[in-house]
Protein backbone atom coordinates (compact mmCIF):
# COMPACT_ATOMS: atom_id res chain seq x y z
CA UNK A 1 0.00 0.00 0.00
CA UNK A 2 1.38 3.31 -1.09
CA UNK A 3 0.73 6.28 1.18
CA UNK A 4 1.58 9.89 0.48
CA UNK A 5 2.17 11.82 3.66
CA UNK A 6 2.02 15.59 3.55
CA UNK A 7 2.44 18.36 6.10
CA UNK A 8 -1.27 19.03 6.54
CA UNK A 9 -1.38 22.27 4.59
CA UNK A 10 -3.50 22.79 1.48
CA UNK A 11 -0.34 23.54 -0.48
CA UNK A 12 1.06 20.28 0.79
CA UNK A 13 -1.97 18.39 -0.45
CA UNK A 14 -1.79 19.99 -3.90
CA UNK A 15 1.93 19.21 -4.03
CA UNK A 16 1.09 15.58 -3.33
CA UNK A 17 -1.31 15.61 -6.25
CA UNK A 18 1.32 17.14 -8.48
CA UNK A 19 3.82 14.49 -7.47
CA UNK A 20 1.33 11.71 -8.07
CA UNK A 21 0.89 12.88 -11.65
CA UNK A 22 4.57 13.51 -12.13
CA UNK A 23 5.62 10.11 -10.80
CA UNK A 24 2.71 8.43 -12.60
CA UNK A 25 2.30 6.51 -9.43
CA UNK A 26 -1.02 7.01 -7.72
CA UNK A 27 -1.16 6.43 -3.98
CA UNK A 28 -3.89 4.62 -2.11
CA UNK A 29 -4.12 7.28 0.53
CA UNK A 30 -2.96 10.84 0.98
CA UNK A 31 -2.83 11.74 4.64
CA UNK A 32 -1.59 14.60 6.77
CA UNK A 33 1.33 13.56 8.92
CA UNK A 34 -0.48 14.39 12.15
CA UNK A 35 -3.14 11.78 11.63
CA UNK A 36 -0.96 9.13 10.09
CA UNK A 37 -0.48 5.80 11.85
CA UNK A 38 2.17 3.58 10.43
CA UNK A 39 2.02 -0.16 9.90
CA UNK A 40 4.38 -2.49 8.11
CA UNK A 41 2.21 -2.96 5.03
CA UNK A 42 2.48 0.69 4.13
CA UNK A 43 5.15 2.09 1.92
CA UNK A 44 5.49 5.77 2.56
CA UNK A 45 6.36 8.72 0.42
CA UNK A 46 6.89 11.95 2.32
CA UNK A 47 5.84 14.96 0.30
CA UNK A 48 7.90 18.12 0.46
CA UNK A 49 5.53 21.02 0.08
CA UNK A 50 6.47 23.28 -2.80
CA UNK A 51 4.37 26.29 -3.58
CA UNK A 52 5.31 26.19 -7.21
CA UNK A 53 3.88 22.72 -7.64
CA UNK A 54 0.80 23.60 -5.71
CA UNK A 55 0.24 26.65 -7.88
CA UNK A 56 0.53 24.55 -11.02
CA UNK A 57 -2.20 22.21 -9.82
CA UNK A 58 -4.32 25.17 -8.81
CA UNK A 59 -3.98 26.79 -12.25
CA UNK A 60 -4.64 23.53 -14.03
CA UNK A 61 -7.87 22.98 -12.09
CA UNK A 62 -9.10 26.47 -12.95
CA UNK A 63 -8.15 26.11 -16.58
CA UNK A 64 -9.17 22.56 -17.35
CA UNK A 65 -12.02 22.02 -14.92
CA UNK A 66 -13.66 24.94 -13.19
CA UNK A 67 -13.59 27.50 -10.44
CA UNK A 68 -16.29 25.54 -8.67
CA UNK A 69 -14.12 22.43 -8.70
CA UNK A 70 -11.32 24.41 -7.06
CA UNK A 71 -13.63 25.66 -4.34
CA UNK A 72 -14.97 22.13 -3.98
CA UNK A 73 -11.61 20.55 -3.25
CA UNK A 74 -10.76 23.36 -0.88
CA UNK A 75 -13.92 22.69 1.11
CA UNK A 76 -13.33 18.93 0.99
CA UNK A 77 -9.85 19.51 2.38
CA UNK A 78 -11.25 21.62 5.20
CA UNK A 79 -13.58 18.80 6.20
CA UNK A 80 -10.49 17.00 7.57
CA UNK A 81 -12.23 13.77 6.62
CA UNK A 82 -9.80 10.86 6.76
CA UNK A 83 -10.41 10.12 3.10
CA UNK A 84 -10.43 13.71 1.92
CA UNK A 85 -6.96 13.50 0.34
CA UNK A 86 -7.60 10.46 -1.78
CA UNK A 87 -11.13 11.60 -2.65
CA UNK A 88 -9.73 14.84 -3.96
CA UNK A 89 -7.15 13.03 -6.05
CA UNK A 90 -9.78 10.75 -7.57
CA UNK A 91 -12.12 13.63 -8.22
CA UNK A 92 -9.38 15.59 -9.97
CA UNK A 93 -8.32 12.63 -12.09
CA UNK A 94 -11.89 12.28 -13.23
CA UNK A 95 -12.18 16.04 -13.67
CA UNK A 96 -9.08 16.31 -15.83
CA UNK A 97 -10.60 13.63 -18.02
CA UNK A 98 -14.07 15.05 -18.54
CA UNK A 99 -13.39 18.74 -17.94
CA UNK A 100 -16.06 21.33 -17.14
CA UNK A 101 -18.94 18.91 -16.99
CA UNK A 102 -17.49 16.98 -14.08
CA UNK A 103 -20.07 18.26 -11.63
CA UNK A 104 -22.94 16.92 -13.69
CA UNK A 105 -21.84 13.39 -12.79
CA UNK A 106 -23.73 13.60 -9.55
CA UNK A 107 -24.24 9.88 -9.25
CA UNK A 108 -20.55 9.08 -9.79
CA UNK A 109 -18.84 8.26 -6.52
CA UNK A 110 -15.80 10.32 -7.37
CA UNK A 111 -18.01 13.40 -7.61
CA UNK A 112 -20.43 12.37 -4.94
CA UNK A 113 -17.71 11.87 -2.33
CA UNK A 114 -16.51 15.43 -2.79
CA UNK A 115 -20.01 16.84 -2.82
CA UNK A 116 -20.84 15.17 0.45
CA UNK A 117 -17.87 16.76 2.13
CA UNK A 118 -18.57 20.13 0.52
CA UNK A 119 -22.13 20.09 1.83
CA UNK A 120 -20.98 19.40 5.37
CA UNK A 121 -18.44 22.19 5.38
CA UNK A 122 -20.71 24.69 3.62
CA UNK A 123 -23.45 23.94 6.11
CA UNK A 124 -21.20 24.46 9.08
CA UNK A 125 -19.84 27.65 7.60
CA UNK A 126 -23.34 29.04 7.29
CA UNK A 127 -24.27 27.91 10.77
CA UNK A 128 -21.16 29.46 12.31
CA UNK A 129 -21.84 32.77 10.60
CA UNK A 130 -24.89 32.87 12.85
CA UNK A 131 -23.83 31.24 16.09
CA UNK A 132 -20.43 32.72 16.72
CA UNK A 133 -20.76 34.95 19.80
CA UNK A 134 -18.46 37.83 20.50
CA UNK A 135 -17.70 38.95 24.02
CA UNK A 136 -16.37 42.43 24.57
CA UNK A 137 -13.11 42.37 26.51
CA UNK A 138 -11.74 45.05 28.82
CA UNK A 139 -9.39 46.24 26.10
CA UNK A 140 -12.26 46.76 23.62
CA UNK A 141 -11.50 43.70 21.56
CA UNK A 142 -14.42 41.50 20.58
CA UNK A 143 -13.47 37.90 21.26
CA UNK A 144 -15.33 34.77 20.10
CA UNK A 145 -14.20 31.27 21.06
CA UNK A 146 -15.61 28.38 19.05
CA UNK A 147 -14.93 24.70 18.42
CA UNK A 148 -16.04 23.88 14.91
CA UNK A 149 -16.28 20.28 13.79
CA UNK A 150 -14.55 21.09 10.51
CA UNK A 151 -11.82 23.57 9.79
CA UNK A 152 -14.28 26.21 8.63
CA UNK A 153 -13.11 29.28 10.48
CA UNK A 154 -10.83 30.49 7.70
CA UNK A 155 -13.89 30.72 5.46
CA UNK A 156 -15.50 33.25 7.75
CA UNK A 157 -12.82 35.95 7.92
CA UNK A 158 -14.19 37.97 5.08
CA UNK A 159 -17.77 37.70 6.26
CA UNK A 160 -17.02 39.17 9.66
CA UNK A 161 -14.48 41.70 8.44
CA UNK A 162 -17.04 43.13 5.99
CA UNK A 163 -19.74 43.16 8.57
CA UNK A 164 -18.03 44.33 11.75
CA UNK A 165 -15.72 46.62 9.86
CA UNK A 166 -15.32 49.13 12.69
CA UNK A 167 -14.51 46.76 15.52
CA UNK A 168 -11.36 44.86 16.40
CA UNK A 169 -12.09 41.18 16.77
CA UNK A 170 -10.63 37.73 17.21
CA UNK A 171 -12.44 34.49 16.42
CA UNK A 172 -10.66 31.68 18.18
CA UNK A 173 -10.79 28.05 17.03
CA UNK A 174 -10.07 26.58 20.43
CA UNK A 175 -9.70 23.05 19.10
CA UNK A 176 -7.16 23.91 16.44
CA UNK A 177 -5.47 26.73 18.37
CA UNK A 178 -5.62 29.37 15.72
CA UNK A 179 -7.75 32.38 15.07
CA UNK A 180 -9.05 34.90 12.61
CA UNK A 181 -7.94 38.40 13.55
CA UNK A 182 -9.24 41.72 12.31
CA UNK A 183 -7.69 45.09 13.07
CA UNK A 184 -10.19 47.45 11.36
CA UNK A 185 -8.27 47.39 8.10
CA UNK A 186 -7.55 43.78 7.19
CA UNK A 187 -8.12 40.27 8.46
CA UNK A 188 -5.53 37.53 8.85
CA UNK A 189 -5.01 34.18 10.51
CA UNK A 190 -2.55 33.34 13.20
CA UNK A 191 -1.86 30.74 15.85
CA UNK A 192 -3.19 31.43 19.30
CA UNK A 193 -1.66 30.44 22.56
CA UNK A 194 -3.76 31.34 25.56
CA UNK A 195 -1.60 32.13 28.52
CA UNK A 196 -3.76 34.68 30.29
CA UNK A 197 -7.35 34.58 31.39
CA UNK A 198 -9.64 36.79 29.41
CA UNK A 199 -11.04 39.80 31.22
CA UNK A 200 -14.45 40.99 30.19
CA UNK A 201 -15.45 44.60 29.67
CA UNK A 202 -17.49 45.98 32.55
CA UNK A 203 -20.63 46.18 30.37
CA UNK A 204 -20.35 42.75 28.88
CA UNK A 205 -22.41 40.79 31.38
CA UNK A 206 -25.16 43.38 31.21
CA UNK A 207 -25.71 42.69 27.52
CA UNK A 208 -25.36 38.96 27.99
CA UNK A 209 -28.16 39.13 30.55
CA UNK A 210 -30.36 41.13 28.22
CA UNK A 211 -29.78 38.66 25.44
CA UNK A 212 -30.65 35.72 27.66
CA UNK A 213 -33.72 37.51 28.84
CA UNK A 214 -34.77 38.11 25.27
CA UNK A 215 -34.07 34.53 24.26
CA UNK A 216 -36.12 33.02 27.08
CA UNK A 217 -38.94 35.36 26.47
CA UNK A 218 -39.33 34.94 22.73
CA UNK A 219 -39.99 31.22 23.10
CA UNK A 220 -43.62 30.26 22.62
CA UNK A 221 -44.25 27.91 25.51
CA UNK A 222 -47.17 26.13 23.87
CA UNK A 223 -44.92 25.12 20.98
CA UNK A 224 -41.95 23.69 22.85
CA UNK A 225 -40.03 21.27 20.65
CA UNK A 226 -36.45 20.73 21.85
CA UNK A 227 -35.77 18.13 19.21
CA UNK A 228 -36.44 20.58 16.45
CA UNK A 229 -34.17 23.06 18.21
CA UNK A 230 -31.24 20.67 18.36
CA UNK A 231 -31.82 19.51 14.78
CA UNK A 232 -31.13 23.04 13.63
CA UNK A 233 -28.45 23.78 16.18
CA UNK A 234 -26.72 20.55 17.26
CA UNK A 235 -25.72 20.38 20.90
CA UNK A 236 -22.03 20.16 20.12
CA UNK A 237 -22.15 23.87 19.28
CA UNK A 238 -23.82 24.99 22.51
CA UNK A 239 -20.71 25.31 24.61
CA UNK A 240 -19.99 28.93 23.72
CA UNK A 241 -23.54 30.11 23.22
CA UNK A 242 -24.43 32.73 25.79
CA UNK A 243 -28.12 31.87 25.62
CA UNK A 244 -27.56 28.17 26.28
CA UNK A 245 -25.74 28.62 29.54
Work out how close the CB of 216 gets to another protein at its nearest, in angstroms, rounded to a whole number: 8
Q: How far apart are CA 124 and CA 55, in angstroms?
A: 27
- Nearer to another protein by Cβ, of 86 and 117: the residue is 117
Work out how close the CB of 180 gets to another protein at its nearest, in angstroms, rounded to a whole number: 13
Q: Residue 177's closest CA among 160, 189, 185, 168? A: 189
**Helices (DSSP H) in the chain: which residue ranges?**
10-23, 51-60, 67-78, 84-98, 109-131, 157-163, 204-218, 226-232
Question: Is there a contact between 74 and 10 (Cβ–Cβ < 8 Å)?
Answer: yes
Q: How far apart are CA 139 and CA 154, in angstroms?
A: 24
- Nearer to another protein by Cβ, of 16 and 102: the residue is 102
- Nearer to another protein by Cβ, of 130 and 190: the residue is 130
- Nearer to another protein by Cβ, of 74 and 89: the residue is 74
Contacts with another protein by CB under 8 A lie at 72, 75, 101, 103-107, 109, 112, 115, 118-119, 122-123, 125-126, 129-136, 142, 144, 160, 162-167, 207, 209-211, 213-215, 217-229, 231-233, 241-243
Work out how close the CB of 63 gets to another protein at its nearest, in angstroms, rounded to a whole number: 21
3-class SS at 138?
A: coil
Work out how close the CB of 195 gets to another protein at its nearest, in angstroms, rounded to a whole number: 25
Amino acid sequence: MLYYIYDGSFDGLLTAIYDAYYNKDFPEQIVPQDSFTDNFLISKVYIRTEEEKSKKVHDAVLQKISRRAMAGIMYAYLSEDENAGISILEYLRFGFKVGRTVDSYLADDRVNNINRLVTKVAREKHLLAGIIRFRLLHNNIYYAPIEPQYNTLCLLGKHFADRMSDQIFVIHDVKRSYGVFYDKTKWFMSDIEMNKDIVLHENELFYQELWKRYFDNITIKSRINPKLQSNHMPKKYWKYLIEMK
